[in-house]
Structure 1
Amino acid sequence: MTTPDHQSPAPDAAHPELSDRIYRSAAGIAGGVLLLAIAGWLGVDALITGHGRTPWLALASLILLVPLVVAFTLRPAVFANEDRLRVRNPFRVIVLPWGTVGSLRSGYSNEVVDTSGTKYQLWAVPVSLRARKRAARRQTRNAAADTSGRTSAVPAEPVRAQTDQIMDDLRVLAEDRAAAQSARGEVGVRWAYEVIAPAIAGAVLLAILIATG
């Protein structure tokens, strides 16, 4: 499940419209916390009680695995405001002013395509085929109820999968803001060296330990 977080830091008083809507995967965060807890428990135990090369192997494994777990679970997020879409993926951060957004596509993954045709996946807004099927069943039930004239005191359930609704919201924002002067600019892409560098260091250390064992 992907959840929007509207409790972002207070925007600059001179630019209240720049407050970000933040979308992250609740399931991804929960899975990441669980994996980090398991890795920390096993790794620290090996560091403390291990003998010979075991503590060094555990240390190298932690240096490699922890950044990767963080990158693929806790790190992904999508930030949207009136001027731009910022996509924080495992190894890159992509900033797209709305004027550079060509389309937002939903298939087996959710993607943003810039005006040059370059595609960027939205890791924080994963597609759930199961949620789509549930939404389709709700649509069918609601349509059947409308046809039969039945009414219910229970509020109608959403008939769109949550991530599909998020993409709809982003499309509306992109269409509304594409022509705004403040939403112009160039696409910016930055590599997440704070994730890549320690992972590479851990992989190199682990390879050396294995090769010299």
Structure 2
Amino acid sequence: MTTPEDQPPAPQPSAPETKDRVYRSPAGMAGGVLLLGLVGWLGLDAIFVGEGRTPWLALASLILMVPLIVAFTLRPAVFAGQDRLRVRNPFRVIVLPWGQVAALRSGYSNEIVTASGKKYQLWSIPVSLRARKKATRRESKAAAERAGGGRGGRGGRTGGQDAGLGGLGGLTGLRGGVPRNVGPALDGPVRAETDRVMDELRELWGAREKAETAQGEVTERWAWEILGPAVAGAVVLGILLAVG
């Protein structure tokens, strides 16, 4: 007869794996689908209806253009995991452990800088100066509304409860030491979408850069699945044009 002490311990459930966060450009993907539809329609029409060398020229053009359209619109993506960042650009795939990341910078483009000083542009997170200006205007408007809402009371004066708070009477009220009715101020500043994405990446980087599993070497490879067909299409198209 076995006692509870003699029984083997029950296996502990393994921690669920955290899925990578995936960042893509919706505008780029929509544009890519439209371009592929247009190029495919024109190309197939030329292949089946064209005469002489036209079908062959159309076929070679499709072999060249389709991979390039996919490369610059549908392919770019950033995969942010617990241990590394995988950047899929038009012609390369770069894997960067968080421990090798030195900076995530946002200027006229979003880019990542490694500890060795090498830079990689994040194609799937494009900078929109228009969105930044719009976010700045919204933030200015929200700040003005918060400032206007702080002039509570009659005739610009605050009530007795506010007056006894030593200079904090400009707020419409306090509850537990936390200002009420200040709206967006508690939610943080208004940011453009791609800037918020970069903030998320910086937060994940700051939390994981010292982790033991987030160390290693930066690796990169060429996207031959894109370059191969594009080069083949360019060669065939060049031969057809040279032959005349």
Q: Does the pair score TM above 0.5?
A: yes
Q: Give distance in 1, aligned partners of 2:69 and 2:191.
A: 30
Aligned-pair RMSD on alpha carbons?
Answer: 1.7
Q: Which residue of 2 aligns with 1:8?
A: none
Q: Give distance in 1, aligned partners of 2:16 and 2:51.
A: 57
Q: Secondary structure at the match of 1:16?
A: coil
> Once the 2 structures are TM-superposed, how far is the Cα of residue 190 of structure 1 from its aligned partner?
0.9
Q: Give yes or no for the alignment of 1:76 onto 2:76.
A: yes
Taking the TM superposition and a 5 Å limit, the aligned residue runs for 1:174-193 are 174-193=205-224
Q: Give distance in 2, aligned partners of 1:102 and 1:18.
A: 24
Q: Give distance in 1, aligned partners of 2:236 and 2:43.
A: 15
Taking the TM superposition and a 5 Å limit, the aligned residue runs for 1:1-213 are 14=14, 16-149=16-149, 156=184, 159-213=190-244
Q: Give distance in 2, aligned partners of 1:86 and 1:59.
A: 34
- Letter aligned with residue 170 of structure 1: L
Q: Give distance in 2, aligned partners of 1:44 and 1:177.
A: 49
**Quick one: structure 1 residues 118 and 15, their matched pair in 2 at CA, closer, same or farther if it must change by over 3 Å?**
farther
TM-score (norm 1): 0.90
Q: Secondary structure at the match of 2:24?
A: strand
Unaligned runs of 5+ in 1: 1-12
> Once the 2 structures are TM-superposed, how far is the Cα of residue 104 of structure 1 from its aligned partner?
0.2
Provide the identity percentage. 66
Unaligned runs of 5+ in 2: 1-12, 151-171, 173-180
* Moved >2 Å (runs of 4+): 13-18, 155-158
Q: Give distance in 1, aligned partners of 2:20 and 2:61.
A: 36
Q: Is the 8 A contact 1:98 1:174 kept in 2?
A: yes
Q: Give distance in 1, aligned partners of 2:224 and 2:44.
A: 25
- Letter aligned with residue 68 of structure 1: L
**Quick one: structure 1 residues 207 and 140, their matched pair in 2 at CA, closer, same or farther if it must change by over 3 Å?**
same
Q: Secondary structure at the match of 1:87?
A: strand
**Quick one: structure 1 residues 181 and 160, their matched pair in 2 at CA, closer, same or farther if it must change by over 3 Å?**
same
**Quick one: structure 1 residues 18 and 48, their matched pair in 2 at CA, closer, same or farther if it must change by over 3 Å?**
same
Q: Give distance in 2, aligned partners of 1:45 and 1:15.
A: 54
TM-score (norm 2): 0.78
State how many pairs are aligned.
Answer: 199
- Letter aligned with residue 22 of structure 1: V
